[in-house]
Amino acid sequence: MKRSIIATPRKLPAALSGAMAAKYDIREPDGETADLNEFVSLAEGAGAIFATAFDEMDAAFINALPASVKMIASIGVGVDHIDLDAAKARGLTVSNTPEVTTPCLADTTIGLIIAACRRFREGLSIAETGEGRGMLTPESWGQRVTGRTLGIVGMGNVGKAVARRARAFDMNLIYTTPRPSAAIDAEYSAKSVDLDELLSNADIISLHCPLNDKTRHMIDDAAIKKMKPSAVVINISRGPIIDELALIDALKSKQIFAAGLDVFETEPGPIREALRQLPNVYCLPHVASATWESRAGMAMRVLANIDAFFEKGEPVDRVV
């Protein structure tokens, strides 16, 4: 029986490529990535294409795809790198890999909360000098996490997982989400509020929402001005949800206390130097899902989506 073809615009990790090759013919570029013209040729005859968050698939890309392509199988939760309207107009099925990364994303969020509140970055810098008893004066102290009010923006799978972990710290939970419910309130001992109330009352603001026209620069200068001077902002969702220039100004002027970031507005380019140099910012290089468990789960889930699409015409995790 003729095997289905999967094309990818970038070289795959050997383990993933090998797992796919057991059932499908895999077409990969000769180099690390393929430009549009090379990929269109590569994808001729392919029924599905594999995508990562770093593969920008705008309307021009999607409209240039061969007619044989019927599916985009994306690895990861976010799909803002894909023009979903263009995909829908072309009749393409798009899938992602939700849920499998949730525990690691939630763990990273809690880690950033603790690191930012307790000023671990400054402590590490002092420890590197060999000083064993730094940060003993009041102006260098951090703030306690236990008992703080955590505002969760986006109460989906990750937001709920963060809420569960936060309860171990006796945190007061408020949240905003498109679909609040009494069931969420009861299960997580949380209170649904609007965004303005959350920004004004939360000690820690943790972002767990998709990037779209409504959320792009949701945290801008006006939003930051509503926050407490002691506020800590955490973002592991998508960089452009925050206006980084406004955030940098607020952190420099001590308008807010600190930030913990795993994603950045300038991705896939470098993190802004002004952000990296601030002592009250804890930056991670987009590694919230970078664990053996998450990456293995993502690989298995993307394979399950491809298998289900070719066998039944419907992936496990349809986006459009």
Compare 124 and 172 and report the one with higher pLDDT: 172
Residue 132: pLDDT band with limits 50, 70, 90: confident
Q: Does the pLDDT value for residue 137 go beyond 90? A: no
The number of residues making up the chain comes to 320
Residue 133 is predicted with a pLDDT of: 87
Q: Which of 81, 118, 208, 286 is catalytic?
A: 286
Instruction: For the chain, give the mean pLDDT.
Output: 96
Residue 134: pLDDT band with limits 50, 70, 90: confident
The distance of Cα 8 from the centroid of its chain, to the nearest Å, equals 22
Q: Considering the chain, what percentage of its residues have pLDDT values greater than 90?
A: 92
Residue 135: pLDDT band with limits 50, 70, 90: confident
Amino acid at 49: I
Q: Per residue in 196-242, pLDDT tens? A: 999 999 999 999 999 999 999 999 999 999 999 999 999 999 999 99
Strand segments, DSSP code E, in the chain are 5-7, 25-27, 48-51, 71-74, 93-95, 149-153, 172-176, 190-192, 204-207, 232-235, 258-261, 281-283
Active site (annotated) includes residue 286: yes
Residue 277 is predicted with a pLDDT of: 95
Structure tokens at 50: 């594999």
Fold adopted by 5-100+292-312 = Rossmann fold (3.40.50)
Q: Quick one: average pLDDT of 145-153?
A: 98
Residue 268 is predicted with a pLDDT of: 86
Lowest mean pLDDT among 102-106, 131-135, 217-221: 131-135
Q: Quick one: average pLDDT of 249-269?
A: 96
What is the secondary structure of 135-155 as a DSSP string? Answer: --SGGG-----TTPEEEEE--
Amino acid at 73: A
Q: Per residue in 29-78, pLDDT tens? A: 999 999 999 999 999 999 999 999 889 999 999 999 999 999 999 999 99
Domain limits, the chain: 5-100+292-312, 102-283
Phi, psi torsion values for 48, nearest 5 degrees: -145, 155
Q: Quick one: average pLDDT of 308-315?
A: 97
Residue 1: pLDDT band with limits 50, 70, 90: low
Phi, psi torsion values for 225, nearest 5 degrees: -65, -20
Residue 139 is predicted with a pLDDT of: 87
Burial of 168 by CB count in 10 Å (0-12 exposed, 13-18 middle, 19+ buried)?
exposed
Residue 158 is predicted with a pLDDT of: 97
Q: Which of 27, 118, 119, 238 is catalytic?
A: 238
Q: Is the peptide bond before 229 cis (omega within 30 degrees of 0)?
A: no
Active site (annotated) includes residue 267: yes
Q: Per residue in 286-307, pLDDT tens? A: 999 999 999 999 999 999 999 9
With 0.85 as the threshold, say if the pTM is over it. Answer: yes
Alpha-carbon radius of gyration of the chain: 22
CATH topology of 5-100+292-312 equal to that of 102-283?
Answer: yes
Distance CA 139, CA 206 (A): 25
- Edge-to-edge strands, sheet with 48-51: 25-27, 5-7, 48-51, 71-74, 93-95
Q: With contact defined as beta carbons under 8 Å apart, do 244 and 30 qualify?
A: no
Residue 269: pLDDT band with limits 50, 70, 90: very high
Q: Which of 56, 90, 267, 272 is catalytic?
A: 267
SS3 199: helix
Residue 167 is predicted with a pLDDT of: 96
Structure tokens at 20: 């796919």
CB atoms within 10 A of CB 138: 5
**Where does 102-283 sit in CATH, by number?**
3.40.50.720
Instruction: Tell me which residue of 233, 178, 225 sits closest to 203, measured CA to CA.
Output: 233
Burial of 231 by CB count in 10 Å (0-12 exposed, 13-18 middle, 19+ buried)?
buried
Compare 133 and 283 and report the one with higher pLDDT: 283
The structure tokens 């943790």 sit at 206
